[in-house]
């Protein structure tokens, strides 16, 4: 028996390593932002193991609650009759796991198998997920909530997640990387670590996030609240004032931490859905674009984006600036910006802005020499189409 125990100990003795893992980074950003996270993935791909490793890495005691094997009263509180119910009422006592979390002052509450919880249990979870309340007890601020669920098709007696409960989570699609699995089975798993927030970027990060979210919703007010028509889609991420507030928080945290665009994309799409999330990402890209007026003031020093779609947007913005405020010097400067774009990027991106800019010419404006630089490249680009 001692030999078997020794063998088991050796098999379970694994180490960790720093490794770039976007989905693990997205999870840690959401946890640091104190938002409930729901991991979606097929059975057996390591969701539960990832949560255990996350809790260990963050030095948080892990409390696992299987939602489907509990009654609604386990989350709403158990009624306890006191000495005089008529004057004192009937208090709702919390279960033991909630008391342990409260006593510890911190922890990671893992709600597993959420998609197997019946509607009555899901309804009882609403206050826990949003307000951190279990009966009369409020969980401490140091407690974080992460849940896991299998898609309905692969869940045991699965239920669709209710829209009110789904709208309280950041939804992350959890997949597995074969290389990570192989290395983990060899004894080394990736290490989860909270992203490092730059204290010098906090003010700018908040302003940036507010400007991005408010700017998008100002021009796209229909996105403020958009409950999906299909019942199955209501159990995922969709836009509401609550989830836009969560998104604003995530953009601020991701910006202060300097996370990658891939991680930011996971977070915003997992909060407001793919469509609104992609619109927000596009809006963020446009916020980072140079001011057309700055480019017109110094065409020779124009710093244009490398990405084709962003470069096209910048050039269109320069032409639009000339259209709004026409002047011969601004017209000449715009041609110089297009020449700069031709020298530093693909010629086909200059074709449409050049045609639009040419149409803005007034009769008393002379043709700048820069047009000669562009004529041959534009003709070749058009012929190649």
Q: Are 122 and 149 in contact (CB under 8 A)?
A: no
Structure tokens at 321: 């600036």
- Do 112 and 128 belong to one domain? yes
- Residue partners of 380: CB distance under 8 A and separation at least 6: 347
- Do 220 and 164 belong to one domain? no
364: Cα separation from own chain's centroid? 52
- Do 72 and 86 belong to one domain? yes
Which residue in 63, 48, 54 sits closest to 103, CA to CA? 63
Residue-by-residue DSSP string for 279-347: HHHHHHHHHTSPPHHHHHH-GGG----SSHHHHHHHHHHHHHHHHHS--HHHHHHHHHHHHHHHHHS-T
- Residue partners of 323: CB distance under 8 A and separation at least 6: 356, 360
- Do 282 and 334 belong to one domain? no
Last residue of a domain, one of 267, 287, 307: 287
CATH number at residue 181: 3.40.50.300
Q: What is the reported pLDDT for 88?
A: 60
Question: Domain for residue 3, yes or no?
Answer: no
Last residue of a domain, one of 190, 207, 233: 190
Q: What is the reported pLDDT for 237?
A: 95
Question: Domain for residue 8, yes or no?
Answer: no
- Do 165 and 39 belong to one domain? yes
Length of the chain: 385
- Do 112 and 149 belong to one domain? yes
Q: What is the reported pLDDT for 38?
A: 96
Count of domains in the chain? 3
Last residue of a domain, one of 265, 287, 309: 287
Q: Give the three-class secondary structure for 127.
A: helix
DSSP for residue 231: G
Which residue in 14, 20, 13 sits closest to 193, CA to CA? 20
Question: Domain for residue 5, yes or no?
Answer: no
Distance CA 384, CA 6 (A): 70
10-residue mean pLDDT profile of the chain (385 residues): values are 88 84 92 95 83 85 88 78 63 84 93 88 90 88 92 69 94 89 86 85 94 90 92 90 97 95 96 95 84 88 84 89 92 90 84 88 83 64 44
Q: Are 161 and 122 in contact (CB under 8 A)?
A: yes
Distance separating the N- and C-terminal Cα atoms of the chain: 75
Q: Give the three-class secondary structure for 92.
A: strand
Question: Domain for residue 4, yes or no?
Answer: no
Distance CA 65, CA 155 (A): 17
- Do 28 and 153 belong to one domain? yes
Q: What is the reported pLDDT for 83?
A: 62
The answer, as to whether pTM is greater than 0.85, is: no
- Residue partners of 368: CB distance under 8 A and separation at least 6: 331, 332, 335, 336
Its domain, for residue 358, covers: 292-383
């Amino acid at each position: 028996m001692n030999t078997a125990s020794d063998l088991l100990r050796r098999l379970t003795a694994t180490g960790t390593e720093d490794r770039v893992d976007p989905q693990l980074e997205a999870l840690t950003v959401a946890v640091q932002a104190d938002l409930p996270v729901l991991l979606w993935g097929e059975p057996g791909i390591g969701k539960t193991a990832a949560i255990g490793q996350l809790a260990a890495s963050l030095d948080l005691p892990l409390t696992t609650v299987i939602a489907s094997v509990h009654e609604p009263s386990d989350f709403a509180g158990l009624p306890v009759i006191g000495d005089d119910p008529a004057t004192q009422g009937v208090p709702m006592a919390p279960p033991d796991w909630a008391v342990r979390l409260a006593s510890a002052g911190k922890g990671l509450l893992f709600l597993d198998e959420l998609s197997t919880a019946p509607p009555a249990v899901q309804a009882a979870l609403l206050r826990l997920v949003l307000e951190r309340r279990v009966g009369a007890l409020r969980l401490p601020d140091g407690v974080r909530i992460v849940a896991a669920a299998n898609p309905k098709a692969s869940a045991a007696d699965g239920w669709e997640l209710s829209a009110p409960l789904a709208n309280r989570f950041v939804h992350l699609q959890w997949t597995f990387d074969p290389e990570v699995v192989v290395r983990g089975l060899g004894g080394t798993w990736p290490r989860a670590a909270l992203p490092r927030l730059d204290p010098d970027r906090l003010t700018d990060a908040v302003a940036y996030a507010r400007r991005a979210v408010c700017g998008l919703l100002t021009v796209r007010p229909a996105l403020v609240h958009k409950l999906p028509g299909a019942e199955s889609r209501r159990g995922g991420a969709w836009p509401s004032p609550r989830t836009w507030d969560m998104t604003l928080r995530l953009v601020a945290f991701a910006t202060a931490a300097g996370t990658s665009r891939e991680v930011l994309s996971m977070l915003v799409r997992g909060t407001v859905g793919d469509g609104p999330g992609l619109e927000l990402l596009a809006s963020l890209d446009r916020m980072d674009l140079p001011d057309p007026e700055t480019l017109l003031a110094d065409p020779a020093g124009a710093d244009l984006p490398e990405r084709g779609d962003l470069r096209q947007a910048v050039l269109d913005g320069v032409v639009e600036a000339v259209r709004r405020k026409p002047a011969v010097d601004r017209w000449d400067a715009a041609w110089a910006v297009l020449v700069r774009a031709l020298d530093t990027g693909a010629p086909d991106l200059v074709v449409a802005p050049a045609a639009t800019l040419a149409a803005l010419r007034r009769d008393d404006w002379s043709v700048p020499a820069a047009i000669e630089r562009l004529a041959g490249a534009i003709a070749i680009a058009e012929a190649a189409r």
